[in-house]
Homo-oligomer: A and B are copies of this chain.
């Protein structure tokens, strides 16, 4: 209730004040250039010009802060599905290509990589140690990020099938194939430290090849249509 009136400036998100979002932005900067070890409560407070006490009041915990960072960043990703013209065969190809480019772009982003590293580093194999309240960071990232972009792909594939350009039984399976063709092992390699800039050079070619391969596997011959 305390954040209803005093910061209705329009930049709010998920019930957080602008100030708090600014703090999360600072924290993300720290994370990107220093890894998880750089995100100390004192460090975030110093970088954001706020007090540690405020941090604990707002986010309750260091884990709460990390979760808030993930949620905040995920909220910024907007999947622009301008798929109102996926009727022609060429249009479908264009849309698939755009999707491939966007996917590679998102996955190679500094912030995305840093957050994935954070969530993965936090993950434990057997028992759940911390995370008393909410779900695991990894689960959080999966829900907020992957599901989003997956839905865009699903609608695109569904439109393609409805228009008679694609043929598949299981949409998830088809999406998995598309994802694999596009991403291959680049995501892992970037997570392991390989320079994203070096890999970005071949993104365009890879995206085109992936789309071509995908259409070869799941596309119905356009000449036989209509």
Contacts of A194 in B (CB 8 A): 138, 142
CB distance from A109 to the nearest CB of B (A): 11
Q: Taking each of A183, A184, A187, A216, which has the highest tally of chain B beta carbons within 10 Å of its own beta carbon?
A: A184
Dominant secondary structure of chain A at its interface with chain B? helix
Alpha-carbon distance A192/B141, docked complex (angstroms): 8
> Digit string of A176-198 for contact with B (CB within 8 Å is 1, else 0)?
11011111110111011110000
Chain B residue nearest to A114 in the complex (CB) = B125
Alpha-carbon distance A188/B115, docked complex (angstroms): 13
**Interface residues in A64-116 (C-beta closer than 8 Å to B):** 110, 113-114, 116
Alpha-carbon distance A216/B117, docked complex (angstroms): 35
- Known contacts A176-B184, A180-B184, A192-B141; A121 and B36 CB within 8 A of each other: yes
Are the CB atoms of A187 and B188 closer together than 8 Å? yes
Are the CB atoms of A192 and B121 closer together than 8 Å? no
Chain B residue nearest to A205 in the complex (CB) = B173
Alpha-carbon distance A213/B209, docked complex (angstroms): 14
In the complex, whether A119 has a CB less than 8 A from a CB of chain B is: yes
The size of the chain A interface, using a CB distance under 8 A, is 48
Alpha-carbon distance A189/B124, docked complex (angstroms): 13
Contacts of A213 in B (CB 8 A): 177, 217
The 3 closest A-B pairs by CB, nearest first: A121-B121, A138-B192, A180-B180
18 residue pairs A–B, Cβ–Cβ below 8 Å: A32-B125, A34-B126, A35-B129, A36-B121, A117-B120, A117-B121, A117-B123, A119-B192, A120-B120, A120-B192, A121-B121, A121-B122, A123-B193, A141-B192, A173-B209, A176-B185, A179-B185, A180-B181
- Given A119-B192, A136-B193, A216-B216, 17 more contacts at CB 8 Å? A32-B126, A34-B125, A34-B126, A35-B121, A35-B123, A117-B120, A120-B191, A120-B192, A123-B191, A123-B193, A138-B191, A138-B194, A146-B185, A173-B209, A177-B181, A180-B180, A180-B184
